[in-house]
Structure 1
């Protein structure tokens, strides 16, 4: 027998085994490469998410800064309107000064929303990369790859992130509405406009826009001072209750949103006209009593809620230390005096009525409190310890 021929099957067997081993190693190499690639994709997605989050933080800070500047510009504009003798030129010049802060604020809001969407997209890409890595690790484990010893068990796919709004839709809508109302009021100022005839309606549009932006400023996470939030909420609570009462009595047809605007002023004027009161567009003791009487006459739930707006005034004054009486919704002479004292403190005319100028001044006082709270405390100057004379 030819021993060389007899050795051929053995050689073939060795070759076949070698091919099988090679194929197996190639399979392992493919599996390891798949895991490596998936891990690299996860790492890249994590870096992209970190960059998106950093960009969102920056955009949010810039939005807060530009919004703060716009709110301050609106407040200065309100000061012009409440001057004793503003001219058309004063109003137009102040309006021009509003243009750039307004543009910056809206641009900042858009940039912050876009940056937030980028974060959501980066979170989704990371979730998909993590799912692909889990699949690659599971495949490597099933093939007996050495990488199976470090492969994590396959996890259920995480739900993909969804975009949460930067601020509630109602807040954004109120800003848009207040902005439109303000532009309409501003467009009504011409060379022939007697400013004194439009002060309350026009000022209310400015205050409404300022408060709408304050609400957006708070809802977007720009506020950090709890006292300011509480105080601003107290003002909003008063206006909300007043709007609800006026709506129940049939005078207010706008949105009950806690922001005083031209529709709120018009409803107050209609109530005053219907009750033979001076038409001022502001709520004083007589106006509050007339509204309460109408609600009581309606009976039922209206009667039970008729004290809400006055109670909100009492609560606001109590918050700032000008009212120590009961929060019972009853407008008394003592409440009028407390409101007048608060108005004197704010530097506005002490009418004893809740008007746009008082609300605007209150907001400014709250802002000053916030600035004071944020300012660093002064550092005491070091003093030298006197040295006792020798001897």
Structure 2
């Protein structure tokens, strides 16, 4: 009997019969549930999971900002984000919940959003605006029909130097301070060659090297795939000496691990911990104001100065936008324009005429 099959009665289910088979869906989320009695443990687990993924009911004018944020975090758009960007948005959403999570979402206006942004520095305000936009867009048609972020533009932040690239003297100083066998040197050579962000570099290992000599990985920030020559013939714009340094560091590691960058105990490093550890290593080598991300910039600059095209640089570093890469290319072209094709004339240090 149908009643005995269902057992207990749960709310929010949609059932229909097709060809003698009964199909059960969770009405709010649209998720198909197993064709089992409602008191079956497997059915109850699926029902609970579907309930937690369902958006807040439509037209609920009393739904809070926190409820709207939960809709955003469960939305297909949010689930498509890269790990690092999703983490950034979660942090911003937590700040919104702590500040005004209880406020009815439908009462939030453009002036409220602008007031929140006005208390932040430009870069922080732009991150917060992205979170506001995501939350509001995810709830159009659910909790309200408009968005209070409409017409709000990102703040133009002052141009800064950002992470400074390493120059030849910095690189030489670091290499002199740390031997090939040290984890600091291993991390340095890996990032110096690949130009990978620290979040990606900590995941790199021998298992990512293909049989034809490419090291291939998917970037945490963008989700894009990058392949870099690792054990194969190099393009003419790549410095073979840097790759030799990397292979030497790999061969002289005291312990082997699935990742190249490890702790003193031989385990993989976390992103945040690795960045702080490398910054300290840089200071200990007598280098100030330089970071792991600065090494990434140095790789792009070196490629540009060696004649790599904008698209070749982007393919190596994994930049999705060519604007920053074009900056490196233009700077390299200006240097070449002022360099003689013949033997360059150098100023004599002698005071003789």
Same fold (TM over 0.5): no
Higher-helix-fraction structure:
1
Rg comparison, structure with higher value: 1
Higher-strand-fraction structure:
2
With normalisation by structure 2, the TM-score equals 0.22
With normalisation by structure 1, the TM-score equals 0.21
